Amino acid sequence: MSAFNERIEALRAKYGNRLAILGHHYQADDVLRHVDFQGDSLELARKIEGLSAEHVVFCGVFFMAESAAALARPGQKIHIPHQGATCPMADMAPAQRLEDVLNALREDGRLVIPLAYVNSSAEVKAICGLYGGSVCTSANAKTMLEWALQQGDAVLFLPDKNLGHNTANQLNLDATERLELDIRQDGSRIDHKKVRYARLLLWPGVCAIHHKFKKIHIQELRRANPGVRVVVHPECSPGVVRASDGAGSTSYLIKYCADAPSGARIAIGTECNLVQRLAARHRPQGKDIIPLKALSCSNMAKVNEERLAGLLVDLEAAQPLSLSPDVIEHSRVALERMLRICA
C-alpha cells in the first residue's frame, strides 16, 4: 500500500456521505480501491442522478467528469483529480469544427443528425442536443445509431470512426451508404456529391489505444496459443473486430470473462488495467486471461492516488468543474435522450 492509501481513506471517512467517488474501469487498482462506484461511461453516467453527495470526485478522463457535471443536481460539485487527464479521441472533435461541418452538411437541405460517442466534450454533446441528435456509449451504440437513422436523412457519427463502422456492420448498413468525411478547412473540403448518397457520415477520429491493436497481433497470438478466444472493444478497427471471436463494450468484455468456463484462455483487446484486473479476478477459477497486447491509456493514468489525495485534502476549496448554462442545458438534452431511449 502506498503512503496515500491511509490518507485517502481517512479523508473519505471525514467527509462521509457528503462525498462520492466514481471510477472508470481503466483506472489503476490503487485508485479503484477508493471508489464508491466503478463502471463504464454509461454505468457511471446513470449513477449521477441517484447521488445526493455534495462532492462527487470522478476518477477518469475529463469528458466523463463533464458528463457528470451536466447531469449533476443544483449545488452538487463535480471534481476530477487532474484536469489534464483529457481523452485524445475527444480532442479530435472540437466543438466549433463540428458546428462548421454540420452546417456545411446541411447546406443542401438534408437533415443530418449528429450522434456523438460519449467520448466527446460537453460542448460537442450540447451541439448534438441542439441539432436534434444525441450521444451513445459503446454499450448502446447499435440502439442509438438505429434511432438516429430514423430521425433524419443521414447521421453524422463522431468522433470514433471505428465504433461507427463496427456499429454500422451490426446494422448491416452497406459500405456504399457510409462516407468518412474530410473535415479539414471547416468543412469546405467535403465532397457534397458523395454526401448526398451517404446515410452514415463518419468523423475521422480514433482512440489512440484501441486503434493500435492490429490483425497481425491476433494472428500471432492464435499461432502461439491454439484454442485461445479473442474478444475486443469496438473502438478497434473493423478488421480487428472481424478477426476476433467477439466484440463489445467494457461491460460485455467483463461478462464474457465471467461466463467463460474454467480452463478457458481469453485474450482481450482493450486497455490493460482492466485486462490485468480480470486476469486476477478469474485466475482462482482456472481461467487464463491475457492482453491481446499490453496497451495502457496514459491519460487515464494521470489520475493516481497522489492526485486523488491532493484533491481530497483541499476539497472544500477546490474549484469544481463548471459548464456554461447553455452547455449544461443542451448537453443534458442529448444525454437524457440517450438515457430515455436506452432505459
Q: How far is the CB of 120 from ligand SF4 (least distance, A)?
A: 10
Q: How far is the CB of 121 from ligand SF4 (least distance, A)?
A: 12
Interaction between residue 271 and ligand SF4 (CB under 6 A): yes
Beta-carbon count within 10 A of 185 CB: 11
Measure Cα distances from 284 to 2, 242, 251, 281 in Å. 26, 31, 21, 7
> For residue 306, with 0-12 CB atoms within 10 Å meaning exposed, 13-18 middle and 19 or more buried, which class applies?
middle
Residue with smaller CB distance to ligand SF4, 55 or 293? 293
Residue with smaller CB distance to ligand SF4, 89 or 243? 89
Find the farthest-apart pair of alpha carbons in the chain and give their distance in angstroms, rounded.
Answer: 62
Site residue total, ligand SF4 (CB under 6 A): 12
Q: By CB under 6 A, what part of segment 67-106 binds ligand SF4?
A: 87-89
Residue with smaller CB distance to ligand SF4, 58 or 131? 58
Residue with smaller CB distance to ligand SF4, 88 or 320? 88
Residue with smaller CB distance to ligand SF4, 154 or 338? 338
Which residues are within 8 A (CB) of 195 and not within 5 positions of it... i.e. 6 or more apart? 105, 110, 154, 179, 201
Q: Which SS3 state, helix, strand or coil, does residue 87 take?
A: coil
Q: What are phi and psi of 287, to 5 degrees?
A: -100, 135
Residue with smaller CB distance to ligand SF4, 217 or 287? 217
Grid cell at residue 264: 478457458
Q: By CB under 6 A, what part of segment 282-301 binds ligand SF4?
A: 297, 299-300
Q: Give per-residue burial for 243-263: e unless 16+ CB within 10 Å, then b.
A: bbeebbbbbbbbebbeebeee
- The angle subtended at Cα 317 by Cα 311 and Cα 323, nearest 5°, is 85
Q: How far is the CB of 93 from ligand SF4 (least distance, A)?
A: 12
Q: How far is the CB of 208 from ligand SF4 (least distance, A)?
A: 5
Interaction between residue 250 and ligand SF4 (CB under 6 A): no
Residues 29 and 300: beta-carbon distance below 8 Å? no
Q: How far is the CB of 112 from ligand SF4 (least distance, A)?
A: 24
Residues facing residue 23 across a β-bridge: 38, 59
Q: Which SS3 state, helix, strand or coil, does residue 140 take?
A: coil
Q: By CB under 6 A, what part of segment 118-137 binds ligand SF4?
A: 119
Interaction between residue 21 and ligand SF4 (CB under 6 A): no
Interaction between residue 116 and ligand SF4 (CB under 6 A): no
Interaction between residue 239 and ligand SF4 (CB under 6 A): no
Residue with smaller CB distance to ligand SF4, 152 or 291? 291
- Per-residue x/- track, 193-232, ligand SF4 (CB under 6 A): --------------xxx-----------------------
Interaction between residue 331 and ligand SF4 (CB under 6 A): no
Q: Give the span between the Cα atoms of 135 and 110, in whole angstroms.
A: 20
Q: Give per-residue burial for 105-129: e unless 16+ CB within 10 Å, then b.
A: bbeeeeebbbbbbbbbbbbbbbbbb
Q: How far is the CB of 86 from ligand SF4 (least distance, A)?
A: 8
Residue with smaller CB distance to ligand SF4, 60 or 133? 60
Which residues make up the interface to ligand SF4 (CB under 6 A)? 61, 87-89, 119, 207-209, 271, 297, 299-300
